[in-house]
Structures are given as structure tokens and as C-alpha cells.
Amino acid sequence: MLSATIMVIYKMKKIVSAKNKLLLSVVSLIDDSRKSVASAINEQLSLLYWNIGKKINQEILQSKRADYGKQIIAELSKELSQRYGKGFSKRNIHNFVKFNELYPDLQIVHSLGAQLSWTHIRNLISVEDNLKRDFYIQMCKHERWSVRTLQDRINSMLFERTGISKKPEQTIINDLKLLENKNKITPDLTFRDPYFLDFLGLHDTYSERDFESAILLNLQHFITELGTDFAFLARQKRIIIDAVLE
């Protein structure tokens, strides 16, 4: 009787083990498929928006009819929003146009759309300087930044605080190409200058407390950029270095 019970338990364990193994395999297939579908959708959306921008550029803005281009874009936005809902505001349509202007090469558009969402791209095209924008593109792809992280990095002027921003233009181009083509990141791309204080946003007159608060706020953002191995404990914390008892 005991032997039969042991055999039943053994078989049940094998069934549970096989089920768990199968479950993990199926979950992996589903997750991979979802990622693939999401990537394909992102690429197709970016391509669609680029083509809309191209059509507007070719038929309206570049055909000497830009004098009423704003009016046409406003009407187009209204019609598209009624048909397809959100996503076709005047601001977004202007972003489509700018996207096409900045990246006329379709191959680059495919590359961006395959790795970044349209929301990423929309934030990136707001960066006017080409080299700076390319820096954020490559770092975003390399470190897999979320949209929020990307915007935080742009707002905190990450490019200006890296060693690469102090280098000649051709050096910056070469380092970014190395990152893009060989996934190799140079020290200049990661070194960040903690003494770049122009972004504190203080007025001409400010108190010592204002200065301290501004530095601590940006220091907190800086520490979070370094990764999970670092932590911001407190704004002011008493630390006893040495204590002598008499």
C-alpha cells in the first residue's frame, strides 16, 4: 500500500513538473510574440507618420503653397481626428512633418521605428541640435530608456554633462557610430560632470537654502542616473565619524 502511494505521489510530481515546464515555454512564446507584435506596430506607426509628413511636405509646404499650409493642416487635423480619434492633433501633424524633414532617408526611419516608439521619436525630434539628438537616440537604444527616462535625461541636459560634449564634432560622430555599429560605449559617453550648475534654474538673487535645495534636487536625479547600486538616503543626515568616550 505504501509503495503504491509513493508511486502516485511520484507520478503527480512528474505531471506538475511537466505542466510547469510547458507553462513556462508557452508563456515565453506568448511574451516573445507580444514583443514582436509591439515592435512591428511601432515600426508601422512611425512609418505611417513619416509618410503623412512626407505627403504634406511634398504637396503643400514644398510646392510654394505654404502661405495657407497652417490652415490646411488645421482642417486635416479636424477631419482625421473625427475619423480616427486621438493622435492627429495639429501639434502631432506638425511633428510628422518635422520627422520627415529631419530624416528623409527611409532606411533610417525603419531603424528608428524598429527600436523606438513614436513617443520616443516625438521627444527626440524636439532636440534641435543634430549631434545632441543623435547622442540621445544612441543612448536611448543602448540603455533601453523608457519615454519618461528619455525626457528626464533631455531635461537634465545629460549631453552637456558628458565628456563627449567637450570633444570635437568629428570625435562625437565617431564615438556615436562606434556605439551604433559595434555596441561599444566610450568613457566620454558615460562620464558626467557634477559641476555643471547652469540648469539649477535659480534667479539672480537667491538664499543659501535655495541654492542647497536646487543642488540636492539635481544631485538626487544624478544619483538615480548611476543605476540601482546607488541610493539617495536623505537631504540632511547626521553622521558620527568618530566618538571618543572619556
Decide if 11 is inside a domain: yes
**pLDDT over 50 (residue 72):** yes
Asked whether residue 109 carries a pLDDT value surpassing 90, the answer given is yes
Indicate whether 159 pLDDT > 60: yes
Note the pLDDT tens digit of each residue in 225-235: 666 556 656 65
Q: What is the mean pLDDT of residues 61-73?
A: 69
- The mean pLDDT value for 10-25 works out to 74
Per-residue pLDDT for 102 more than 60? yes
For residue 82, give Cα distances in angstroms to 30, 71, 87, 224.
34, 17, 11, 42
For residue 204, name the pLDDT band (cuts at 50, 70, 90). Answer: very low
24 band by pLDDT with thresholds 50, 70 and 90: confident
The answer to whether position 246 is within a domain reads no
- What is the domain extent for residue 46? 1-63+95-126
Q: Does 24 reside within a domain?
A: yes
Question: Is the model more confident about 110 or about 20?
Answer: 110
Place of cell 541636459: 157
Residue 244 included in any domain: no
Tell me how far apart the alpha carbons of residues 151 and 125 are, in angstroms, rounded to a whole number.
Answer: 12
What's the mean pLDDT when you consider all of the chain?
78
Number of domains into which the chain is organized: 1
Is there a domain that residue 231 lies in? no
The share of the chain scoring above pLDDT 70, in percent, equals 70
- On the question of pLDDT at 98 being above 60, the answer is yes
Q: Is residue 218 a part of any domain in this protein?
A: no
Residue 217 in domain = no
- 151 within domain boundaries: no
